[in-house]
Every structure is written in structure tokens, then in C-alpha cells.
Chain A
Amino acid sequence: MNQTAPALGKDLIGLEPLSREQILAILDTAEPFKEISERRIKKVPVLRGKTIVNLFFEASTRTRVSFEFAENRLSADTVNISAAQSSVSKGETLVDTARNLEAMRIDMVVMRHGSSGAARFLAERIPSNVINAGDGSHEHPTQGLLDMLTIRDHMGRIEGLKVCIVGDVLHSRVARSNIFGLLKLGAQVAVCGPPTLVPRGFRSLGVEVFTRVEDAIEWADVLNILRLQLERMEAGYVPSLREYNRVWGISRARLERAPRDILVLHPGPMNRGVEIDSDVADGPQSVILNQVTNGVAVRMAVLYLLAGGQPERAEAAKQGGEA
């Protein structure tokens, strides 16, 4: 058999370390996997015999369930551990938790952790493949990938598009993964929000910074609207959720003043009436649920590629061929 270099390395920590070709390989591999979720029997033997641990130190519903579906539909065996019920709550360190899991012979760890850098820390210490499902304010690579897949589905391309990320960019791992990934694929990227949450220093990452959301809407082809967490108000970054909505919330009236139809994304969970109004979230420009659907396909693609699969063999792998 023709041995080619693996499409990805051992781990998926973020989009910043990936090349444009690696990102495109993941998106292209996700395409044939989309169809599996549309079948009546949603299961293929791509990862049969692989053991995957979903290790979630932070609350998550969407991402955890999406990974679980992706793993199950590829026939992997999975175990879910959340911090509250694990020995972490008894004071065990991250490395000890991981080594104990390793000792039971696992193949992959999907980890969400509150500290930036936790995914790389783990990846350097265990031989299993590590997939970052969100580390602090650093990266959330599979979210960035599913956002890009959704944009490509609806706009036909990513290169040359103007994508603006609106909201709490400062604390957002979704924003960082979007910025790194979209720039590599040739999009123009901007960020917009109150200067307390969107410092001008983000310009050094190669993005434009807007303070007025009207300017962002005037400029953009795509808006990716971030959740404004209640804690940000409590910490004083914005005076109130109502004021945030009045000044930076995306409403139908604001979108109607745009010179073009803007595609609207949101990584969820939404605060309706804060960063996004219901008439936008449920409106014709919203692809928020398409993002969720694509999330499963993108995560299947990442699992498959990290397990050693080749992008061009994905179709065959679905039929029961070797990964």
C-alpha cells in the first residue's frame, strides 16, 4: 500500500500551528462524512476498536455531544468524564488523570479545559492523540473548522471573504481559532465590540478592529457573533446586557442597512436579546443550526485523520476499508 505522510500530526491543539493545506484537508475530509448523519442507520466502521475518552473539565453540551455523536457514528468506544464526577474533584492533577486513563490503554483524548494551554500540556505528556475541545481563552479548533466549513458551504469559498467576529473577542477561544484559520485560508478578518472586550492590540494578529457595529456590518460578508457571558458584565467589561444589546447587538434593523446579505453565524449557546436578536437568529441569513450539523462531520474528519486516515481514502473508509 502506498504510504503517504499523515495529514495531521499526533494532536489537534489549535489552528494556529496548522498549514493551509492541513486545514483544507480537514474540511475536504468532512464533506464525505456529512452524509453518514443523514442515513437511517448512522454508523460506519471507520474507528472500530478505538477507545476515546471525552475528558471535560468545563461544562459543555453542544461540543461534548457533537464529539460523542462523531465518535459513535464512526464506531469508536467512548467514555465520558466530567470534572464534577471525576477524581479531579478529589485533587488529582491533570497529568495523573491522563496517565491513569493511558494505563487502561486508550487511543484518543478529547479534552475541554478552563486553562489556556492545557491541551498542549497534556499532548506533550501522553502518547494518545489529543484533540482540544476548547482550552481557556486560547483555541477551540473544531469550532473554527466547523465555522469555516459552514461559511464555505453557503458562500462557495473562503478566500477573499470579509468575516467579522463580533463580541467578547478578548476571552474567546472561538475568536482565536476563527482568526487563525480564516487568515490561513485567505479571508479578510475583522473583530468588533466594546474596546474593553476588543482591544486594539488584536491588530497585531492581522485583523481589522471595529468599535462601531454599524461599521462592521457595512464592511462584512459574514458575521460570527459571540456569546456575551453574564460574567463579563459582572466583571465590569460592559455596564449592562441591555446596553450591550443597544450598542452592539445584531438586530434585523441593523442587518437591513447592510449593503449586502450577510451570513450570520453563532457558536452557541445564544443569549437571545443580548448579542443577537431572535429575528436574526431565526432569520433567513442565519446558518446557526447548519453549524451544529457540520460540527459532527468536522469532528468525524478530525478523528479519522488523527487515527491515521488519508483524506482521499475517506470515502472508501466509510465502506469498511481500513482507515
Chain B
Amino acid sequence: MSARILFRGGRVVDPSQKLDGVHDVLVVDGKVAQVGKDMAVPEDARVLECAGLVVTPGLIDVHVHLREPGGEHKETIASGARAAAAGGFTAVCAMPNTEPPIDDPAAVGFVAAEGRRAGAARVYPVGCISAGRKGERLALVGEMVEAGAVAITDDGSPVMNSGLMRLALLYAQAFDIPVADHPEDLGLSGKGHMNAGLVATRLGLPGKPNAAEDIHIVRDLLLA
């Protein structure tokens, strides 16, 4: 006997299907079987009244911080995966700026295994660009991909060395994975606490100019 769930009367939003309106959605064995208006309730179907609610495909957050290992007082892989699922996210990509950073295949395997163990949103590990996030040498990109990493980034810190960034972009081609950027020129952003501008001037706080981000993005566009 197949399991049927009818999500009735919710606002269905799915840009990929050009859908945004009140519809019923029939799910059979975990897959969307039918979307329509005022559908008859199939036999044995469980009905969820969704009037006033938004119904979407599982959302994916490609940039989350699960903080484990090292920051468990803020978040763990399990708590983050559960929070994601509660908020409608079925998959998340976990940033590698943990302590220690996710820069080798064992660490990637740990994130993937803890994610599976949580049994909530799917957790996709993201590995570091550089060993130890130090911005000096490439991390074990190939082995991390083999262990399940879906992308690389030194998120939290920029890769200030343009030569290393170029090597990372080239090297990632071999494994067909994206390289995610933390665009910030530290020489410009320096000790800034907030966006440079009127408010920073008024408050007497050191600011970070927009150029700190723009220059880094321009650099990486030229390298890519």
C-alpha cells in the first residue's frame, strides 16, 4: 500500500514550474505525483490542510554555519540540520570555517556522517580552499571531493594571495566543483566594524569601504 499525502489549499510556489497560487499537491511515496486545483481526496490519503501556508519544493541553503567541530556551544551539525528541516530546508551546505577547519578528507567524512546521523535536512560538506584556512597552500581538494565535499571555500576569510586563488580555481576544474568566495580585501577592510559612510562617521566607528569587497570580486572575475 503506497503512502499518500494531500497538501490541500496551500499557496504553492515553485518558480521552476512557474507556479504561484493556491493548489493541492498530492505526494505518493515521498514524490510529488500531482498538482491541481480542488483535487478529489484519494482513498487512504492523509490530508494536511494548508490554507494560509506556503508550500514549496524543499529549499536548499548553500551557505550555513553548523559550527561543529569547535563551536558546539553555538550550533551542532544535528541542531543545524533539524533547524533547517523545521524551516523548510531539505539540504544545506556546511561552511568549513570550524575549529579545526574542514580541510581534509577525514573532516569532510565527519561532517557528512554527523549530517546523516541527524536524520533531518541533508548536510553537504564544503571543504577549505587552503590548508588550515591559512591562505598559503591548497588543501587536499581531490581527496575531500572523494570524501563528499561539494565545493571549496575559505569562507570567513578571503584568499588574499592572488596566486593561490588562481591555482585553486584551476585545480577545482579537475573535480568540477565550485569555488566559493569570501570577497574582502583585508588591507582595505582592516579594523573596520561597519560599512564606511555617514553612520560610521557619526558614530565614530572605523568603517569598511565598499571597495574592499568590490576589488576582491573584480580580482576573482579576472582570475576565473
Co-complex (A, B): yes
Q: A236-B137, A239-B131, A247-B142 are in contact. Are A212 and B174 (CB under 8 A)?
A: yes
Q: Is the interface of A mostly helix, strand, loop or mixed?
A: loop
- CB-based contact A240/B173 at 8 Å: no
B residues in contact (CB < 8 Å) with A? 131, 136-143, 146, 163-164, 167, 170-171, 173-174
A240 to B130, alpha carbons, bound, how many Å? 12
Q: Is the interface of B mostly helix, strand, loop or mixed?
A: helix
Enumerate chain A residues within 8 angstroms of B136, measured Cβ to Cβ: 236
Q: A236-B137, A239-B131, A239-B137 are in contact. Are A196 and B142 (CB under 8 A)?
A: no
Contact of A194 among B146, B163, B171 (CB under 8 A): B171
Enumerate chain A residues within 8 angstroms of B146, measured Cβ to Cβ: 246
- CB-based contact B138/A236 at 8 Å: yes
Apart from A194-B171, A247-B174, list 14 A-B contacts with CB within 8 A: A194-B174, A195-B171, A195-B174, A196-B171, A199-B170, A211-B174, A236-B163, A239-B131, A239-B139, A239-B140, A239-B142, A243-B142, A246-B143, A247-B142
Closest to A234 in B: B137
- What are the interface flags for A208-248 relative to B under an 8 Å C-beta threshold, 1 for contact and 0 otherwise? 00011000000000000000000000001111101100110
Shortest CB–CB separation between residue B129 and chain A, in angstroms? Answer: 10
A194 to B167, alpha carbons, bound, how many Å? 10
A residues in contact (CB < 8 Å) with B? 194-196, 199, 211-212, 236-240, 242-243, 246-247
Closest to B175 in A: A247
Enumerate chain B residues within 8 angstroms of A194, measured Cβ to Cβ: 170-171, 174
10 A-B pairs within 8 Å (CB atoms) are namely A194-B170, A194-B171, A195-B171, A195-B174, A196-B170, A238-B138, A238-B171, A239-B139, A239-B141, A247-B142
Contact of B173 among A211, A237, A239, A247 (CB under 8 A): A211
A223 to B53, alpha carbons, bound, how many Å? 62
Enumerate chain B residues within 8 angstroms of A242, measured Cβ to Cβ: 143
Query: Which 5 A-B pairs give the minimum distances between C-beta atoms?
Result: A195-B170, A239-B138, A247-B142, A195-B173, A196-B170
Q: A211-B173, A247-B174 are in contact. Are A237 and B167 (CB under 8 A)?
A: yes
Enumerate chain A residues within 8 angstroms of B141, measured Cβ to Cβ: 239, 243
Closest to B170 in A: A195
A88 to B170, alpha carbons, bound, how many Å? 38
Contact of A236 among B142, B164, B173 (CB under 8 A): B164
Q: A211-B173, A212-B174, A239-B131 are in contact. Are A196 and B167 (CB under 8 A)?
A: yes
Shortest CB–CB separation between residue B161 and chain A, in angstroms? Answer: 9
Contact of A240 among B140, B163, B164, B170 (CB under 8 A): B140
A194 to B140, alpha carbons, bound, how many Å? 13
Enumerate chain B residues within 8 angstroms of A212, measured Cβ to Cβ: 174
Shortest CB–CB separation between residue A46 and chain B, in angstroms? Answer: 49
Closest to A237 in B: B167
Enumerate chain A residues within 8 angstroms of B143, measured Cβ to Cβ: 242-243, 246
Enumerate chain A residues within 8 angstroms of B163, measured Cβ to Cβ: 236
Closest to B172 in A: A195
Closest to B161 in A: A236
- CB-based contact A243/B174 at 8 Å: no
Closest to B139 in A: A239
Enumerate chain B residues within 8 angstroms of A240, measured Cβ to Cβ: 140
Shortest CB–CB separation between residue A152 and chain B, in angstroms? Answer: 32
Which has the most chain A C-beta neighbours within 10 Å: B131, B136, B146, B174? B174
Enumerate chain A residues within 8 angstroms of B167, measured Cβ to Cβ: 196, 236-237
Enumerate chain B residues within 8 angstroms of A246, measured Cβ to Cβ: 142-143, 146
A243 to B171, alpha carbons, bound, how many Å? 12
Enumerate chain B residues within 8 angstroms of A199, measured Cβ to Cβ: 170
Shortest CB–CB separation between residue B106 and chain A, in angstroms? Answer: 13
Enumerate chain B residues within 8 angstroms of A211, measured Cβ to Cβ: 173-174
A243 to B140, alpha carbons, bound, how many Å? 7
A199 to B143, alpha carbons, bound, how many Å? 21
A212 to B174, alpha carbons, bound, how many Å? 7
A243 to B139, alpha carbons, bound, how many Å? 10
Shortest CB–CB separation between residue B72 and chain A, in angstroms? Answer: 28
Shortest CB–CB separation between residue B215 and chain A, in angstroms? Answer: 23
Enumerate chain A residues within 8 angstroms of B174, measured Cβ to Cβ: 194-195, 211-212, 247
Shortest CB–CB separation between residue A250 and chain B, in angstroms? Answer: 16
A243 to B164, alpha carbons, bound, how many Å? 18
Closest to A213 in B: B174
A237 to B173, alpha carbons, bound, how many Å? 13
A237 to B138, alpha carbons, bound, how many Å? 8
Enumerate chain B residues within 8 angstroms of A236, measured Cβ to Cβ: 136-138, 163-164, 167
A242 to B104, alpha carbons, bound, how many Å? 12
A228 to B128, alpha carbons, bound, how many Å? 24
